[in-house]
């Protein structure tokens, strides 16, 4: 039996209208859709009506076990000749372990096609009225994961002087991140924004400063994108 094909598809930040035309077209053709917890119903509605939809979302304490299951599902369906859409929120290659799935498919002779998605790191701040770069305010930005292995310490000093920081998956660790950045040299008064449910109808923005986050006084509902830098102040000029 001929092998199937794996499509690594970026689902964007959530709004189905932010998928690329190619992503929507391919999603409507695949036999199987493996989707994560950030995939919205509107995006799934674009799948073929008779496609097999398989939820493979990861939760705390289950990441490695679920990732192993994803590898198995990709190989199981593709070796059976099916076309597999691996649908990931944002872009599959931005903190999504998409490259690992690509690698294991190639190792088993399975063809892979990558279809980029709009990363929430770029789209969500903009949708909230926060430009990541702005003349004379921010000439650089970095996208950083706020999730790291238990028992390890992340080194934040390399990010002390970057104008704008975008932190994904950092909601739970927000106080630790803020304290670490202050210790690394960032100003406690630097503005911070959390954009919850970015691109969706219930999008919400929480504006504060690094000191308040460090003190654990900011309530945030995940998933949320954390933005740190003077560009956060531009929101007052861009959003009515």
Catalytic residue positions?
Answer: 36, 58
Q: Are 124 and 13 in contact (CB under 8 A)?
A: yes
In angstroms, the Cα distances linking 85 to 33, 54, 55, 117, 150 are 5, 10, 12, 13, 31
Provide CB contacts within 8 A for 57, sequence distance 6+: 35, 36, 37, 38, 66
HEC readout, the chain: CCCCEEEEEECECCCHHHCCHHHHHHHCCCCEEEECCCCCHHHHCCCCCCCEEEECCCCCCCHHHHHHHHHHHHHHHHHCCCEEEEEECECCCCCCCHHHHHHHHHHCCCEEEEECCCCHHHHHHHHCCCCCCECCCECCEEEEECCCCCCCCCCCHHHCCCCEEEEECCCCCHHHHHHHHHHHCCCCCCEEEEEECCCCCCCEEEEEEHHHHHCCCCCCCCCEEEEECHHHHHHHHHCC
């Amino acid at each position: 039996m001929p092998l199937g094909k794996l499509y690594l598809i970026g689902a964007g930040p959530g709004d189905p209208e932010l998928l690329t035309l190619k992503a929507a077209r391919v999603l409507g053709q695949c036999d199987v859709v493996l989707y994560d917890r950030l995939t919205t119903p509107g995006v799934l509605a674009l799948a073929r009506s008779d496609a097999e939809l398989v939820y493979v979302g990861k939760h705390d304490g289950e990441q490695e076990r679920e990732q192993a299951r994803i590898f198995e599902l990709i190989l199981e369906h593709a070796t059976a000749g099916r076309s597999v859409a691996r649908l990931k929120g944002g872009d599959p290659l931005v903190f999504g372990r998409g490259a690992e799935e690509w690698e294991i498919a190639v190792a088993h002779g399975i063809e892979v096609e990558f279809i980029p998605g709009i990363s929430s790191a770029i789209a969500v701040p903009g949708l909230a009225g926060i430009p990541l770069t702005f003349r004379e305010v921010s000439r650089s930005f970095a996208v950083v994961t706020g999730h790291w292995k238990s028992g390890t310490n992340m080194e934040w000093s390399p990010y002390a002087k970057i104008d704008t920081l975008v932190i994904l998956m950092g909601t739970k660790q927000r106080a630790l991140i803020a304290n670490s950045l202050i210790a690394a040299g960032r100003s406690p008064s630097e503005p911070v924004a959390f954009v919850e449910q970015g691109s969706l109808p219930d999008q919400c923005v929480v504006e504060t400063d690094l000191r308040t986050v460090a003190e654990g006084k900011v309530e945030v509902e995940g998933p949320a994108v954390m933005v740190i830098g003077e560009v956060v102040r531009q929101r007052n000029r861009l959003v009515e």
